[in-house]
Amino acid sequence: MIAHIAALVLGAALERAWPQALRIGNVGPDVVLVIVACIGITRGRLAGYAAGLLGGFLLGAAGEGSFAAALIGLMAVGFLAGQVRGRVFADHILVAPVVAILATLLASLIHLVVSPPSHFLPWLGEVARLMLYNAVVSPVAYVYARALARRWPQRAEA
Amino acid sequence: MRRRPIYHHGEWQTFAALTVVALALLVSHQRAAPSKEGSRPERAARAVLVPLQESLTAIWRQVAYTVGGVTRAGRLARENEQLREANAELEAKLIQRQLLYLEQLEIVKAFGLEPKTSPTELRARVVGRSPGRFIRQTIDLVTIDGREARKRDIVLWAGCLVGRVESAQGSRAKATLLLDPDSGAAAVVKPSNAKGAVMGPDPASRDPDLLRLVHLERDAPIAVGEKVYTSPIGEIYPPGILIGEVQEVIGGAGPAEPKTALVRPHVDFGDLNYVTIMRPASP
């Protein structure tokens, strides 16, 4: 659990300190969202939900967008990613980019409802870029989360 | 055949407990919202995140310097030489200014007047930036010598306007950029003397760094290339700080069509490493 918390805290710091040279059109990846999704996939819905709570709180505290949207969005992502656990292909690394894309879409939809952007089409373009960017960085988070899950397997299935 | 239960024993209680925690965090956030400082848990989280961001930024900077240094060694050596010369010149000017200040202080005291406090200037490192265009445009700052930043301090880069501190905790601060959709500054265009307000960029614009100069008079004689400064009538920023240069003038053709100018800021917001935090002199 401590390793997951550390990953989320580091991810929140990294998301804000993401190097400018690696941003695409001033946009960096949603590191915390990807980590929450990967914790959900490898640990189940309860761990995903809790990770979403902590991740959303950290992002909200860092001052990125709407606090409510960050909290609700990441908790929903963690919970739904947790539903993937134990299913076919859940142990395959390619599940990470797929879940990252879907998670970005879900979190963006929640953002759209909770704090609608002023211009829809440019926002949609940014969401599309984010989906791809998150998919690219997700295998790293997945490998880390899977290594933790193998090192410290859960006692009871969630 | 028995169906597998949706929730395992005790699981729903944990879900409920987590939801209650989330609601409590939301309520405390809403309560602290007017101050922009954040609730107590948020301030604690920032106290953990900002030093981490500082370390990550330092690591990234070191990597960039090393990689850049290897590939551009010759040019960097020449630049370094030029910077040394410029530094020596600036140091000489600084000493001259300090002597003049002391002289002025003597004169003020001789006339029995109360001296004004000089503006405070702090150097700060940029350790974080909001990651997208559709959220608030802020940067995280840490002052270099550990001195305290304050809410409403002005943030500058090379004498040009960057934004304003919106919350501060000791040496750590969060500043809203001019690029923020909610930011605004009363502005004056020189030499035409046209007055207006500089607002954040249009989110639909292809160039996310172009500011908008609005509330211009329809017949304002504004031209491309003119400089935009903060205006003396503004209450947020001191007057005379350079914002940018007029790049394009739109509208103003008909009586119903408002005139707007697109302003290219002098600050490269994408490449901010160090800034100056200025607290205007008290009268």
Q: Tell if the CB–CB gap between B133 and A126 is shorter than 8 Å.
A: yes
Residue that wins the pLDDT comparison between B258 and B264:
B264
The percent helix, strand, coil of chain A (3-state, each to 5) is 75, 0, 25
- Range list of H helices, chain B: 11-32, 40-71, 73-110
Minimum distance, in Å, between the CA of residue A35 and any CA atom of chain B: 16
What dihedral angle (degrees, nearest 10) is formed by the CA atoms of A73, A77, A79, A85?
180
Q: Note which residues in 54-113 of chain A have CB less than 8 A from chain B.
A: 56-58, 60-65, 67-68, 71-72, 75
**Chosen CATH of A2-151 out of 1.10.8, 3.40.630, 1.20.1280, 1.10.1760:** 1.10.1760
Nearest neighbour of A17 by CB, restricted to B38, B57, B138: B57
What pLDDT, on a 0 to 100 scale, did the predictor assign at position B133?
60
Nearest to B133 among A13, A26, A67 (CB): A26
Reported ipTM:
0.79
Residue A122 has its nearest CB partner, among B135, B136, B203, at B203
Q: Is B97 exposed, middle or buried (0-12, 13-18, 19+ CB in 10 A)?
A: exposed
DSSP H or E stretch at residue A107? helix A95-114
Chain B residues with CB-CB distance to A158 below 8 A: 8, 11
Q: What is the pLDDT of residues B21-51, one digit of tens each?
A: 989 988 888 887 776 677 888 888 888 888 8
Residues in chain A within 8 Å Cβ distance of B14 = 46, 50
Q: Which residue has the higher pLDDT, A43 or B5?
A: A43
What DSSP letter does each residue of B224-253 carry, written as one string?
TT-EEEE-TT-SSS-TT-EEEEEEEEE--S
**Per-residue model confidence (pLDDT) at position B223:** 86
Q: Give the start-to-end residue ranges of the domains of chain B.
A: 81-115, 184-266
Q: How far apart are CA B178 and CA B199, in angstroms?
A: 7
**Selected residues 18-57 of chain A with any CB under 8 Å from a CB in chain B:** 18-21, 23, 25-30, 46, 49-50, 53, 56-57
Average pLDDT, chain B: 83
Contact A103/A77 with Cβ under 8 angstroms?
Answer: yes
> pTM, whole model, 2 decimals?
0.73
Q: How many residues in total does chain A contain?
A: 158
Q: Do B8 and A156 touch (CB under 8 A)?
A: yes
Query: Could you tell me the two tokens for A115?
Result: 């704090």
Strand pairing category for B195-199 and B227-230: unpaired
Q: CA angle at residue A154 from A157 to A49, to 5 degrees?
A: 70
pLDDT at A156 over 60: no
Q: CATH 2.40.10.350: does it fit domain B184-266?
A: yes
Which of B52, B181, B208 minimises the CB distance to A13?
B52
